Amino acid sequence: MKTATATERGSIVIKRIAAALILFAVIAVPARADFDDVATAISRKIGVRKTWIPFLGVARFAVWIIRPTGVHDFQLATFEGGHGVDPRELRAILTAKAGQGFAPLVQVYSRRSNEYSFVFARPGKKANRMELIVLTSEDDETTLVRVDVDGEVLARNLNDPKNVGVRMARASE
């Protein structure tokens, strides 16, 4: 019987580690068809095209490993074009495709320009978590974000204006 050399054993170990990482990625990546459905519907609008974000998968994996305070997972999609897309249409897409349990939390329209933001929320799958979907658009750039956050950390930060950059606007603005 032939024994494996050190090089062959190293190659086998590397292949096993690679297979384990692939299996982990397939199992650990949560299925988020809701987010994907919204992103697909937005990208189907005339003049809108999804832009690729390099190393986004690496950043998402880093969030799973590092666990920044209160953030458990996120997804991000950016789009270019669509200057003529009606914000009410995109809000309707978000309402229809976001998934069961999502409810509007914040809706902001600019009277002077074609800028808007929508924030939808639902309770997370775990008791202390919340899922937020944020859709914002300014000029020809649209951003869609889904984030799984700790509800207590979110509430604490929302109550502290310096953490969220809240500024009181004068009534005349």
How distant is the alpha carbon of residue 120 from its chain centre? Answer: 12
Residues 39 and 89 occupy one common structural domain: yes
* 169 within a domain of the structure (yes/no): no
Residues 11 and 46 occupy one common structural domain: no
CA angle (38, 39, 44) in 5-degree steps? 100
Residue whose token pair is 């200057």: 83
- Considering the chain, what percentage of its residues have pLDDT values greater than 90? 21
pLDDT digits 0-9 by tens, 27-62: 444 444 589 999 999 998 878 899 998 888 888 888
Number of domains composing the chain: 2
* 76 within a domain of the structure (yes/no): yes
Residues 37 and 113 occupy one common structural domain: yes
Residues 5 and 79 occupy one common structural domain: no
Alpha carbon distance 49, 42 (integer Å) = 8
Domain residues for the domain of 100 are 31-164
pTM over 0.85: no
Name the pLDDT band for 24 (thresholds 50, 70, 90).
very low
* 83 within a domain of the structure (yes/no): yes
Identify the DSSP state of 126. S
* 118 within a domain of the structure (yes/no): yes
Lowest mean pLDDT among 108-112, 125-129, 162-166: 162-166
How distant is the alpha carbon of residue 61 from its chain centre? Answer: 13
Tokens of 27: 């199992």
CA-to-CA separations, 45 to 2, 61, 134, in angstroms, rounded? 62, 30, 18
* 138 within a domain of the structure (yes/no): yes
